[in-house]
Structure 1
Amino acid sequence: MNGIHAQENGKTFKVSDKVTVENVRYDNRFGITVAADMYLPKGLDTTKKYPAIVIGTPYGGVKEQGAGIYAMVLAERGFVTLAFDESYNGESGGEPRHVSSPDIFVEDFSASVDFIGTRPFVDRERIGAIGLCGAGGFAVTAAQVDKRIKAVATASMYDISRADHYGWKDSMTKDEYDAMLERLGEQRWKDFEKGEPEYLPSFPPDATTAVPEELDAISAEFWEYYAMERGHHPRARGGFTTTSHLSFINFPLMEYIETIAPRPLLFIIGEEAHSRYFSEDAYERAAEPKELYVVPGARHIDLYDRTEMIPFDKLESFFTEYLK
């Protein structure tokens, strides 16, 4: 299952003529097949060894969106890159569909290192990772135990386990928490009796032309990206099976973030991002070397696809320095 397949699926961005893209498959340690796009600098000399970067998608996104943009631009700059779909989502394997698992999503980063590090043109001592949105937490957590990841950058990071366990900005009360667990427990019985888990997609199958007026500010921002022409992709419907929350509630991400040192961490946040507190708090907990990089005027979703705002020069210099 660790081979290369023809690329047949469209992306939300135009692929540069400075790179080549190969659609690949490989298995993680749970036996789930991970689908990814490997971006190579055009004219890559396969007799030489290059630094590589594995890139995880925004939470609920697919490799044909923001992760692919990061992979493409960094491949233009000389890196071998791999943008992958998390297990149970996108083109990756796993049943039932749209399950979310912190353990397996963290493993998908290490499985991606397995694959990229065994390419003959990759220097396995020079592999880094980038996590966008929720994948930021997964990338950091993977690096805690996977020392093959030599440097980690995140952009618009979300700590999904913190949000699920404590609520938005840690605002959930004890009564609300208990009621949530009661609801999720009841849902498990419903899922068992039905024979499949409840999945309520956040976004429609086809792109829309406007943001629904009833949405709160954060939901409206995600709608703008995922549900409109800007970033819409039919495999990125948003949301996960309802009972997936239980795994995150019981699995704190980045619990040992300080142990990543002396390998470096770079947290990139938008100045106007609603999610910036996740990165700011993770930065405080992390050990040196670390850096918090603020993009002026950027919102959370702007670091998914706004190439004029994403600090690619910073990412290039960061990985060039630490993947020597």
Structure 2
Amino acid sequence: MTVLNEQTLDHQYALETDMGRRNMLKMTGTGLAAIGVSAFIPSGSAFAQSEVKLDSKWDKTFRKSDKVDHKKVTFKNRYGITLAADLYIPKNASGKLAALAVSGPFGAVKEQASGLYAQTMAERGFVTLAFDPSFTGESSGETRNVASPDINTEDFSAAVDFLGLQSNVDRNRIGVIGICGYSGMALTAATSDSRIKAVATASMYDMSRSMSRSYKDSYTMEQRHKVLDYLAEQRWKDAESGKYALGYHEVPFDDKGNIIQGQRVLPETLPENPDPVLLSFFDYYKTPRGFHPRGINSSTAWTATTPMSFFNFPMYANIEMISPRPILLIAGANAHSRYYSEDVIKVASEPKELLIVPNADHVDLYDQMDKIPFDKLTAFFQKNLA
């Protein structure tokens, strides 16, 4: 397995050791109950936030760049949920710049892949914002570890709100990048928010399709009904206990046709002869390469009833509305998720482009600097946010 080289150096919390990992676990956040900062918005704005001390220590899974300035910020979405984000600004930049909002993967936090993308694109001249979606990471929202196709789509538009109010951003030159499961939300946001002038996705996953139909639409109709019955029963249990149980967001079946339940997205240890896809996710989320205690995939699971809303609301149903704004989809040649990008490119209107990265799998595009096509991303946004 390939492990990121320079990008995994200088972790401030000594992720390289078990002791460092335990120290990081002590930092685990559960939202913005007691943190936040000024969102760099005029004080008279309805979007202005109160200024509260936020820990400024570098807590990312990648090395801090000396080519950009970094600040932690907060802002609200239109549901009143406070989102936490990292703002990256090219050093010595002047004038109004193009900007990018970045989020994903599904179950990750801004200290992982989205932050790496944001910082790298800031090195290339963009103002960038990597944010934690509602109910996750340092963002607020109760109950924790809930995903919503509606609210998480809104999160991208709220990030556009924030970026467009910055004095160094040209609000007519804002794009978004969605990674893995938040690619669907990024595309969906662009279908209804014309302020988003260009959309790029990496290792796309369609979470509505994945949860309601399973991998490569492999659920039978009987299995789909079994999942709905399981979710309905779980709602009774949660209502009776007053607590929201954790569970798999992509509900699996055993070889006897029974639903498998679990409390963590990923196991604490790998089984013998693990599935290659499981191995690749484990190698990122459960090792110093990409582990972060606030990340759902690293430490816990989504609420068990999370799939319900994804059965109800398909992503990017109005994808033709993005045109004439451009779409770039990036997928690894060896990615198990490649078919999502290939299917989207078939239904999207022009202008659109699908880039297949040779010798890359799904997770490689999270952090492998020799495989993520940053030159292509830069050229795409420079052209379309001109």
Q: 1:170 to 1:97 in 2, by over 3 A?
A: same
Contact 2:327 / 2:352 at 8 angstroms: preserved in 1? yes
**Other structure's SS at 1:297 match:** coil
CA distance in 1, matches of 2:265, 2:282: 8
Question: 1:176-195 alignment to 2 at 5 Å?
Answer: 176-195=223-242
**Aligned residue for 2:371?**
309
Could you tell which deviates more after superposition, 149-158 or 173-182?
173-182
Match among 94, 101, 107 for residue 60 of structure 1: 107
**Aligned residue for 2:314?**
252
State the shift of 1:216 in Å: 2.9
CA distance in 1, matches of 2:325, 2:264: 37
Contact 2:88 / 2:128 at 8 angstroms: preserved in 1? yes
Question: 1:124-135 alignment to 2 at 5 Å?
Answer: 124-135=171-182
Tell me how many residue pairs correspond in the alignment. Answer: 318
Could you tell which deviates more after superposition, 124-133 or 8-17?
8-17
**Aligned residue for 1:147?**
194
**Aligned residue for 1:228?**
287
The TM-score with structure 2 as length reference comes to: 0.80
State the shift of 1:214 in Å: 6.1
CA distance in 1, matches of 2:339, 2:160: 29
Mark the runs of 5 or more structure 2 residues left unpaired by the alignment: 1-35, 40-53, 247-262
State the shift of 1:218 in Å: 2.2
**Aligned residue for 1:27?**
76
Could you tell which deviates more after superposition, 216-225 or 262-271?
216-225
State the shift of 1:7 in Å: 2.4
Match among 344, 348, 358 for residue 286 of structure 1: 348
State the shift of 1:9 in Å: 4.9
Contact 2:365 / 2:372 at 8 angstroms: preserved in 1? yes
Match among 116, 120, 123 for residue 69 of structure 1: 116
Which letter maps to 1:3?
A: S
Contact 1:6 / 1:22 at 8 angstroms: preserved in 2? no
Which letter maps to 1:202?
A: V
State the shift of 1:215 in Å: 4.1
Which letter maps to 2:163?
A: I
Match among 135, 139, 146 for residue 92 of structure 1: 139
**Aligned residue for 2:210?**
163
**Aligned residue for 1:198?**
245
The TM-score with structure 1 as length reference comes to: 0.95
Match among 89, 111, 121 for residue 40 of structure 1: 89
State the shift of 1:223 in Å: 1.2
Which letter maps to 2:224?
A: Y
**Aligned residue for 1:273?**
335
Could you tell which deviates more after superposition, 71-80 or 218-227?
218-227
Output one character per residue of 1:278-319: Cα deviation in whole Å (capped at 9) or x when no partner.
000001000000000011100000000001110000000000
State the shift of 1:221 in Å: 1.9
CA distance in 1, matches of 2:233, 2:289: 37
CA distance in 2, matches of 1:148, 1:237: 30
CA distance in 1, matches of 2:166, 2:272: 49
Calculate percent identity across the aligned residue pairs. 52
Contact 1:272 / 1:298 at 8 angstroms: preserved in 2? yes
Contact 2:145 / 2:296 at 8 angstroms: preserved in 1? no
Q: 1:6 to 1:22 in 2, by over 3 A?
A: farther
State the shift of 1:230 in Å: 1.1
CA distance in 2, matches of 1:175, 1:215: 28
Which letter maps to 2:38?
A: G
Contact 1:96 / 1:196 at 8 angstroms: preserved in 2? no
Contact 1:212 / 1:220 at 8 angstroms: preserved in 2? no
State the shift of 1:196 in Å: 1.5
CA distance in 1, matches of 2:128, 2:173: 12
CA distance in 2, matches of 1:124, 1:198: 41
CA distance in 2, matches of 1:219, 1:288: 35
**Other structure's SS at 1:243 match:** coil
Contact 1:54 / 1:113 at 8 angstroms: preserved in 2? yes
CA distance in 1, matches of 2:37, 2:312: 32
Which letter maps to 1:49?
A: K
Which letter maps to 1:21?
A: H
Could you tell which deviates more after superposition, 221-230 or 262-271?
221-230
